Structure 1
């Protein structure tokens, strides 16, 4: 009896370690293959975490995406952190972020040191990766649309959201679209919201969540007061990137003006180096927020890269950890379910808009580009090949198109 009691915790620890390693393995694979920006990343996540591994049901995934769209910061990274937390606890969220983020950070820091000055923006394989993103997002829209827009009203919400997103480009447009869709969903579906929404198993206490939210706001106020008056210092750098990660909605390209205002006028990075790094950032997988790693490396070497990367992503982690423990109670309310019905339909519409602009408009330039996109889409949807093979096929196809 004593032996069994002593061995049980070992097996529990072994199971937890294996789960963490699984999260790290899957997130790292996504970090190496997820090209195309935050909207495309949601498609990669949907394919890997939901369709293939079924770590969450479709409704819970859509609700998590909706939550992260409301929060400031990199939405796709926050979704990945949330999935990691739901799968393996707080450490699972960190591991999921690390696996998804580290490959692009390493690549961008390497580019900062080794490939600065080379023009790779027009490389054929990069163009092929943009076409891969078109196929990935199209697959995500197909799968999520079937689940989240099954009737006339929800299709209408999705199409209206798509039209507004395409015609109104501001930093807050997506947030306002989601709020409006939630209001419509509340009016139409609050009395007949879907029943049986699965509870998310969140191993985080509300007390700890409140502490994370307090730390988020505390750092936002305290760091500008504490930073050194010197032109360059690690605390000053951390503050600049922390505020950039805290004050942007939509993530991705929206953060670029904030970063430019923080690093160019201070003299940390020249305008030409900033633009060169932005071009390089388009060539690597993973979140665009890892562009901070490049900027930190240019300003302060490896230490600068670490400080900048941690600074820009810490707000995202604190907000997700702070919000998730309250999400179950909120999302299971009948009225909130009605709101989420509208919000989830709007998310499909936003994905549809992103499929056209910027993905389609920057990737499908010739008839052969469209042909390659269709082939990649068929490989994903009908042949059901793993995404990494589609990424390789897209890169090879882009290089081939470059010779034609």
Structure 2
């Protein structure tokens, strides 16, 4: 277990670049260098992580840990990979509020908000190309984006995801028929039952105290996020509601771009902010709650992902949900990311130049963070 923990801790310290980069790091380390599993097994874990809601790259790491050391190995992998970003996001949450009155710190934060516009716009375009290749997918994406902009509520998002799954099953299924004797599906019903109980309870958790309410909010978000990474943004923005300012929310999101490891540790920052009287407890609850649904569902399907994916109706439902997710992220690109980040024509110019630099030169995320921070300070003197 210690070996698993240390390997993933090392990756958690150096894994900049988001979920796609993390999956590349995992393959290089555990397939090519250590030989803990072969390419076929690794590809199956990546496919399953795309099928299930939750943090995609962290789910792949969880599956590798499970393959290597059972449930304890999976927990060790999660703890090692997440710990560095958890610590960094917690420290940023409890220290930066005191600095925000400083003029230069305000400039840095503003620059990071502009970076958030660039990063989310790039994610929307990339996901549109990947998940919206067919006409029904594009219509689902556009309808979801319009609906969430007009009705920016949690129930809207849940309803859109359910509707997208139904429409995907009807219009996006593969043309071939179901096999006559499909491979039987063997599920982990204990994990499935625990997930269902916690998901239902999350809608009533606000009545059970502050800690339970916080757990319920973030568990529900983790249960509804398909694709991981930036997709968590619109659901979290709805979940925090009026408990913090839009400025502070986007500051945390910008910080999440700058630290290594999973972007879901954005929840660490938000949890600390939402429990100012005991920020560490808030950060820990939010972090565990947002990761837990994805891990429970990975345990449900680890043994049967081939049988699940082989059914055309299931594949169509997943395609519909993915298209809806792109629409939700496109809505979040406008509100709150663009509306609270871009405040002038100069800001828009910085965003356009930054987006061009990202696409043309593909710099490391750390360089983008430094560059936009400097731009933010420079904008102070141009005001």
Q: Tell me how far apart the structure 2 counterparts of residues 120 and 331 of structure 1 sit (CA, whole Å).
A: 53
Partner Cα distance (1:97, 1:49) in 2? 12
Once the two structures are superposed, what CA deviation does each residue of 1:381-400 show, in whole Å capped at 9, x if it has no partner?
22011111111111111221
The yes-or-no answer on 1:357 pairing with 2:339 is: no
Alignment of 1:138-177 (within 5 A): 138-177=121-160
Tell me whether 1:311 sits opposite 2:285 in the alignment: yes
d(CA) in 2 for partners of 1:289, 1:385: 27
Alignment of 1:17-166 (within 5 A): 19-27=7-15, 29=16, 44-46=18-20, 48-49=21-22, 64=49, 67-68=52-53, 78-79=55-56, 81-89=58-66, 90=74, 91-111=76-96, 115=98, 118=101, 123-166=106-149
The normalised TM-score by structure 1 is 0.67
1:334 to partner: Cα distance: 1.4
Q: CA RMSD in A?
A: 4.1
Q: Which has the larger radius of gyration?
A: 1
Runs of 4+ in 1 over 6 A off after TM superposition: 51-63, 119-122, 217-225
Q: Deviations over 1:322-343 (max 9, x none)?
A: 1113342544421110111111
Distance 2:99 2:131 in 1: 44
User: Using the alignment, how far apart are the partners of 1:53 and 1:378 within structure 2?
Assistant: 29
Change (3 A) 1:95 1:150: same
For residues 377 and 58 of structure 1, what CA distance do their matches in structure 2 show?
31
Contact 2:112 2:369 in 1 (8 A): yes
Query: Are residues 1:254 and 2:238 paired?
Result: yes
Out of 183, 189, 195, the position equivalent to 2:172 is 189
Between the aligned partners of 1:152 and 1:220, the Cα distance in structure 2 is 35
How far did residue 13 of structure 1 move? Answer: 7.7
Deviation, 1:17, is 5.4
CA distance in 2, matches of 1:52, 1:243: 32
Deviation of 1:168 after TM superposition, in Å, equals 1.6
Work out whether residues 237 and 308 of structure 1, in 8 Å CA contact, stay in contact via their aligned partners in 2: no
Structure 1, unaligned stretches of length 5 or more?
1-11, 31-43, 69-74, 196-204, 228-235, 261-273
Instruction: Give the equivalent residue in structure 1 for 2:352.
Output: 374
1:283 aligns with one of 251, 260, 265: 251
Q: Which runs of 5+ in 2 are unaligned?
A: 29-38, 67-73, 179-186, 225-233, 257-265
The structure-2 alpha-carbon separation of the partners of 1:222 and 1:317, relative to structure 1 and needing over 3 Å to count, comes to same
Q: Distance in 1 between matches of 2:354 and 2:283?
A: 33
Q: Which residue of 1 aligns with 2:191?
A: 209
3-state SS of paired residue (1:123): helix
How big is the shift at 1:224?
Answer: 9.7
Distance change in 2, residues 1:341/1:245 (3 Å): closer
Q: Secondary structure at the match of 1:365?
A: coil
The residue number in structure 1 matching 2:377 is 399
- How many residues were matched structurally? 328
- The answer (yes or no) to whether the contact 2:50–2:56 under 8 Å persists in 1 is yes
Q: Is the 8 A contact 1:129 1:395 kept in 2?
A: yes
Alpha-carbon distance change, 19 to 378 in structure 1, aligned in 2, over 3 angstroms: farther
**In the aligned structure 2, how far is the partner of 1:194 from the partner of 1:368?**
55
- Cα contact 2:188–2:299 (8 A) shared by 1: yes
